[in-house]
Amino acid sequence: MDDMGISENLDHRNKLMGTFSTLFNKEELSDIKLVVNRKLILKAHRFILTVHSDVFKSMLDTKRWTDSKDHNVHLTEEENCLSHFQDFLRYLYSGTVSLSTENVLPLHILSEKYNIQELKESSQSFMLANVASPGTCNQAITWHKYAKLVGLGQLEEECLRYITWNISTVIESPDWMLLEPHQLSALLQMSDMVVEDEVVLFQALVRWLSLHPSHTEEMLSHVRYPMMPPEKLFDLLVPGRLPKDISSYLLRESLLVYQAHVLPMEALGQRNDISATPFIMRIYTSQSYSQPWDILRYQMMNKDTLGRSLSTRHFHLKTQWNVTYSPKGQQHYDYRYGAYNSVACEDDFATLTVRLTTCEPADQSHSHRMSIVLYHCVNGQWFACDVKTLEVPHKENATIKDLIPLSERDKYISDDTMKLHLIGQTIWHKHE
């Protein structure tokens, strides 16, 4: 036994925190009232507020607090924060709150304003982890706008990637109609957007313009009309289907659409710059340009090489692609010492190789690129999470040595399935 005698450490922090939580919005020992936007009144305790927040500490300094005599603290918050302020205040008493896609942004705004560091960091982490969410509750557009405003660089980048590669989900969200003109203009000018075809994007734009008619000419100028399938354009031009000003604009562009799908590119290039933006393909997932590839029973696979062929058509150009992929790496034999003494070799590189087997006509007017969209599954729904591109020369193999590194592979597997989408793209060169 030492000179200090017998000792025992007590840890009653949870009990003390539980005691504090029972004081939330209670009259007992309350010494102030928070009046939020002149609508919400909550009883509070100066001690708890000032311990958690240096902003509240400064605000409740009796020398600065103009309403100290009647114990009222008037707060002005953003309107979307009002319905979540009670949860924010409860967090200061209990240290607990349930985050959701609905409340996380208001809670981040409040924690930023009152410098509640732990809640601010947890809210930001929640948004980063949930950028990919179903269309009805997706807030990538709102979060992107906020992240850019307050300087959350990583969140801004994640939201922009998600929006660009999952536009078909985003256009179904309530957020789509809230896009600001400069956001939509920048989005429409992107060539790395993953979308079914140009008509799907055009129809989403028409819906947005119903609330923002003053931007009609500006936004319609960013649509890539030559990329529209003529049969879908024909349906769009049915009388009465579109607002008159949009229909008139589309009718003016329709001649170029039909010319692009009827005339040889050599003839079209004599009057148009076919290397310009209107003729540049986005990452279109319609069957004219692409093919999905579901790799099933991944866990039971050996180090096999799988093959897939796809045909694409861009204007008059028909292209046949051959793709091989080794999802788990490759196994091969070293025959330097003869067949009977061959040595089995293997690696873990998920190698993907592409070759053009047919391109008509195969000339110098164009080149080819393959985009591979990679998906991951979130709450039972698949979202595009990465896009790899590969320049594919005529009559040569093009290879991505390791499409998905071994250390990252698990995030692309769900229900023993890996999902890819192969998109064949043609890049036209300026006519000389």
Query: CATH number for the domain including 325?
Result: 2.60.210.10
CA distance 387 to 81: 36
Q: Is residue 367 part of a domain?
A: yes
Residue 17: CATH number of its domain: 3.30.710.10
Same domain for 112 and 166, yes or no, is no
Q: What is the pLDDT of residue 195?
A: 97
Closest CA to 265 of 144, 391, 381, 426: 426
Final residue of a structural domain among 95, 125, 155: 125
Final residue of a structural domain among 61, 94, 125: 125
Domains of the chain: total: 3
Alpha-carbon separation of residue 252 from 114, 237, 238, 246, 372 (angstroms): 55, 11, 14, 10, 35
Q: Is residue 339 part of a domain?
A: no
Range of the domain at 226: 140-279
What digits encode the pLDDT tens for the residues 73-98?
Answer: 899 999 999 999 999 999 998 888 99
Residue 188: CATH number of its domain: 1.25.40.420
| DSSP state at residue 329 | B
CA angle 315–318–319, rounded 5-degree value: 125
Question: Token digits for 355?
Answer: 């070759």
Q: Is residue 131 part of a domain?
A: no
CA distance 48 to 28: 13
Question: Token digits for 125?
Answer: 């982490």
pTM score, whole prediction: 0.86
Same domain for 274 and 288, yes or no, is no
| Partners of residue 354 on adjacent β-strands | 323, 398
Same domain for 116 and 216, yes or no, is no
Same domain for 151 and 268, yes or no, is yes
Computed over every residue of the chain, the mean pLDDT equals 89
Q: Name the burial class of residue 96, with classes exposed (0-12), middle (13-18) and buried (19+) by CB atoms within 10 angstroms of its CB.
A: exposed
Q: What is the pLDDT of residue 5?
A: 74
Q: Is residue 2 part of a domain?
A: no
Same domain for 31 and 94, yes or no, is yes
Question: pLDDT digit of tens for each residue in the chain (432 aa)?
Answer: 456 677 677 654 565 555 567 777 677 777 889 999 999 999 988 888 998 999 999 888 766 666 556 688 899 999 999 999 999 999 998 888 999 999 999 999 999 999 999 999 999 999 999 999 876 678 999 999 999 999 999 999 999 999 999 999 999 888 999 999 999 999 999 999 999 999 999 999 999 999 999 999 999 999 999 999 999 999 999 999 999 999 999 999 999 999 999 998 888 989 999 999 999 999 999 999 999 999 999 999 999 899 999 999 988 889 999 999 999 998 776 656 555 555 557 889 999 999 999 987 767 789 999 999 999 998 889 999 999 999 999 989 999 999 999 999 999 999 999 999 999 999 998 876
Q: What is the pLDDT of residue 12?
A: 47
Q: Is residue 71 part of a domain?
A: yes
Q: What is the pLDDT of residue 138?
A: 83
Same domain for 423 and 306, yes or no, is yes
Same domain for 227 and 287, yes or no, is no
Same domain for 191 and 275, yes or no, is yes
Same domain for 121 and 151, yes or no, is no
What digits encode the pLDDT tens for the residues 298-343?
Answer: 999 999 899 999 999 988 889 999 999 999 998 776 656 555 555 5
Query: Which run of H or of E encompasses 314?
Result: strand 306-314
Same domain for 110 and 167, yes or no, is no
CA distance 297 to 206: 42
Q: Is residue 133 part of a domain?
A: no
User: Cβ distance 85 to 97 under 8 Å?
Assistant: no
Q: Is residue 413 part of a domain?
A: yes
For 98-167, give the DSSP string. ---TTTHHHHHHHHHHTT-HHHHHHHHHHHHHTSS--GGG--HHHHHHHHHHHT-HHHHHHHHHHHHH-H
**How many CB atoms are closer than 10 A to CB 41?**
11
**How many CB atoms are closer than 10 A to CB 104?**
21
Strands (E), 208-305: 283-284, 290-295
Same domain for 235 and 270, yes or no, is yes
Same domain for 162 and 101, yes or no, is no
**How many CB atoms are closer than 10 A to CB 366?**
20
Q: Is residue 418 part of a domain?
A: yes
